Structure formats: C-alpha cells, structure tokens
Copies of this chain bind each other. A is one copy, B any other.
Amino acid sequence: MRRAIGVEQVEDIALGAAVLGTGGGGDPYIGKLMAIQAIQDHGPVELATVDEMADDDWSVSIAMMGAPTVIVEKVPGGQEAAHAFRAIESFLGRPIKYIYSIEAGGINSTIPITLAAQLRMPLLDLDGMGRAFPEIQMVTHNLHGITATPFTMADEKGNSAVLSTINNRWMETFARSIAVNMGATAYIAAYAASGKEQRVAAVPGTMTLAETIGRTIREARAAHVDVVERICATTRGFVIFQGKIVDVQRRTVAGFARGEAVVEGTGKDLGHKLAVQFQNENLVAARDGELIVTVPDLITIVEEDSGEPITTEALRYGFRVNVLGIPCHPHWRTDAALAVVGPRYFGYEVDYTPVETRMSR
C-alpha cells in the first residue's frame, strides 16, 4: 500500500520526528525546508509499506551524521545525498528500489524524503531506531545481523568514502573520524537491506508514527486542548518532570554534541531538580540525583504550553518545559539490544527499567 507524502505531511513528520528525536537527531527545521523544496520541485513522495517489497527487493538508508550543533550552521550543498546514494548503488552492484530512514527522529526523518523526491523513488514506512540514537551501530538492523557495509559518505566539497568493516561498531569508529574530517557532518548511505530483511529487522511504521505525533500536536494546538497530554496519549508516554531550565552545559567534541541540562521543578515538582544528560540525544534523566529514565526509552523535552519539542542545541535558560519519558520499541528491550544501547553502554552503572514500569510504581 502506498500513500503520498506532500508538503502538509512533511510538516507533520518533521514535528513528530522532533519528539522521537529525544533532543537530538538534528534540528528538523532545515531538513523540513529541504524536503518541502524537493516536493515542490519534483512532486510528492510515495510512502510504501514493507509488505509490498519482494524478498529480494533492495533498499538503502540515507542520513546525515555528525554533531547537530554543526548541522544547523553548515547548509548542505544539495547533491551530497545523491552522491552517497549513487556510490552505494554502484558498490553494491544491484539496483536499489527503495529509500528508507535509518533514524526517523530529527533531521534524518526528512533527509530521505528529500532524496526520494529528487530521485522519484518510493520511501519505506519504517526506520532502524523508532527514535534517534547517536551511533551507527545503534540500529535494529544491527541487532538482526545486517551489516552497515558498504557504507558511503559524501560532503559538500565533493569528497567521498566507501567503508567496509568487520562489524558495525568498527563502522562507527571509522565513519565518525571521516565525518569529523568532513567538517563534523556528512551525508551517508548504508545498511542496504532486502525486503526479507526489512520485514524482520526494521521498526515498522515509524514514518507514519512521526506524522501522527506531528498531526496530533497541530490539531491539539488548533483545538486549544492540552498539547502535552495529547503527545503522551499518542506515544504512551509520561510527563516525568515539569519546571524551568536553569542550566545548560554543552560542548561539541569528537563529532558529538555532549552536555547536560538542569530543570528546576515547578507545580507538582516544586523543590526538586531534574538533570538530563545528552550525547546528541538525551540519554538519562536524574531526579534529585537518582536516574529515573534511561536509554533506550525516549526522553524528550517539550515547551510547556505549545508542546514544541526542544533539541539539545536549542535548550536555553528560562524555558518552561515538560520532560517526557516515552517507551522505546520492544526491539530495544532484549538483553542483546541493551548491550548496544542500554545505560551501561553509555557509562551509567544502572540496569534499564522500562519507563512505564517505573511510572506505575
């Protein structure tokens, strides 16, 4: 089944993807403008479900990698994504029938839409995270043994790379260095997957999920109902803290934006503090020093009234916010998955507890 992604759908997808971006994934605003321009130039994009793929139909993901703090400052040249796509197609030596988003959180929700419009190719309604994550191997396809190799990269100057590695963690190391050399951001094409593989390995329906979240926010604002409550209902999420941002520390290091935001409680959380630490994406939230939500569950900071998701690079002193905890896709809750994206991988010596378990206590 296919349906058209036009300008209105892109608006909703970009907004919803900012919620799934959990503070990272890049500011979707510039990505949205690019996708809208591409659709105006080339017509709507067809969004296809995985069901229509034959077992041996092939798809590749297109994305930007690097520090979101830099993505907002370094405007793309326009041909990088196509360059990375042509390189992976040539290296694979087989025709690619579908484009997909490896990360439907943040800017990487709309980067594949832009390329799909430019190349007039269908986009798959799925992704490899169901959210945003900072590293290459943090992809459900990786959990299912799908290799990121061949992995192509392109920059706005005309440089490119094709990387082949023995596992996807090595790919993260190599690609991160090249991305830093390319100016802290790069376009990538990777994780070629067949229809047979996508049916098992992908998070299905994520593009539609992002669109639904975005539309929900838009409609709630128009109807003057509680936007944050509607986001939680749509995502099965929780308001884990409400308050005012009183401190933000942020640095761009080794190709990542790292830092911490501190929220001083108001209302029901008066007298308490919440610290949110991030590496591109929000990783953990600690209430008065105790971790209450961790990766792989989603931690998204939204503006209190409008429900507008705030990326880590946009966090500022004085913002009145709600901090949301949203359950991740079940793919991420196995022991094998938690070894890849759980709190211990990021250096936090705690076991993962699902956010809904903690909130129901």
Contact = CB atoms under 8 A, between A and B. Distances in A.
Contact of A161 (B157, B162, B166, B181): B162
A49 interface: no
A173 interface: yes
Contact of A158 (B157, B166, B173, B180): B166
Contacts of A173: 181
A338 interface: no
Interface string A76-107: 00000000000000010000000000000000
Nearest to A90: B91
A165 B162 CA distance: 12
A161 B160 contact: no
Contact of A177 (B91, B157, B158, B178): B178
A15 to B, nearest CB: 36
A146 to B, nearest CB: 17
B158 A161 contact: no
A161 B170 CA distance: 12
Interface in A163-190: 163-166, 170, 173-174, 177-178, 180-181
Interface string A279-295: 00000000000000000
A249 interface: no
A157 B171 CA distance: 13
Contacts of A234: none
B162 A166 contact: no
A159 interface: yes
A184 to B, nearest CB: 13
A251 B62 CA distance: 40
A165 B159 CA distance: 4
A164 B159 CA distance: 6
Nearest to A173: B181
28 contacts: A91-B162, A157-B166, A157-B170, A158-B166, A159-B163, A159-B164, A159-B165, A159-B166, A159-B170, A159-B174, A160-B163, A160-B164, A160-B165, A161-B161, A161-B162, A161-B163, A161-B164, A161-B174, A162-B162, A162-B163, A173-B181, A174-B178, A174-B181, A177-B177, A177-B178, A177-B180, A177-B181, A178-B178
Interface of A: 91, 157-166, 170, 173-174, 177-178, 180-181
Given A159-B170, A173-B181, A174-B178, 13 more contacts: A91-B162, A157-B166, A158-B166, A160-B163, A160-B165, A161-B161, A161-B162, A161-B163, A161-B164, A162-B163, A177-B177, A177-B181, A178-B178
